[in-house]
Amino acid sequence: IALAPRTSINVNLHSINVSDTPTIREIWINFWYRDPALVTEPVEELFQIGSATFSIAPGQDTILGPYSCNVPKAGRMLWFYGHRHANNVRFSAWRVRGGMRELFYESYHYEEPMLLDFSSNVVNTPPDPVKLIDGGWSGILDLAPGDKLSWECHIINKTTGTLRFTNNTFTGEMCIMDGELVGTNCGL
């Protein structure tokens, strides 16, 4: 991703400590410089919020989504991550091509977020909904004009309050897809 000289950046660190003991938090950031003349495939950030206006009542079992964005030109996905909180029991994402949904990401554990890489030398574990094993697509995840990326979150509100879009791990929810694309983007 291109970053101009002297550009300000904002880094967020999420951590969850459910114990009475303080924990150490740290974040490492690496920047690699590449001569712009040598860049043949610039990276586009993929960041889509499903909805910021939902309201999920106590005990309610619901699906947020499916949400989608449109792929305008050929490219590929480098990596993907589904951001959600404690009341999420499943985050799923698909490439939709010609009306056919192809699952490329499924995760059941908000507390251990899965990030998947997609390249010719990566073999990811396939998801297993019976055993609740996170997993997804292996190899290159190509994207073509007319494709859509679609995602949804299965939420079961285990709290006594209404869940809304907030950054509170246990009393709020989110359904956000994040990743990087090469050669294309994904607009609403």
pLDDT digits (tens, 9 = 90+) for 25-47: 888 888 777 888 888 888 899 99
Q: With bands split at pLDDT 50, 70 and 90, how would you rate the model's confidence at 147? A: very high
What rounded mean pLDDT belongs to the chain?
93
Using an 8 Å Cβ cutoff, are 48 and 67 in contact? yes
Structure tokens at 183: 């050669």
| Residue matched to tokens 């404690």 | 86
Contact criterion met (CB below 8 Å) for 150 and 94: yes
Model-level pTM greater than 0.85?
Answer: yes
**9 burial class (0-12, 13-18, 19+ CB within 10 angstroms)?**
exposed
Alpha-carbon span 7 to 127, nearest angstrom? 39
Query: Percentage of the chain surpassing pLDDT 90?
Result: 72
Which pair of tokens denotes residue 66?
Answer: 């499916």
Q: Confidence class of residue 133 from pLDDT cuts 50, 70 and 90?
A: very high
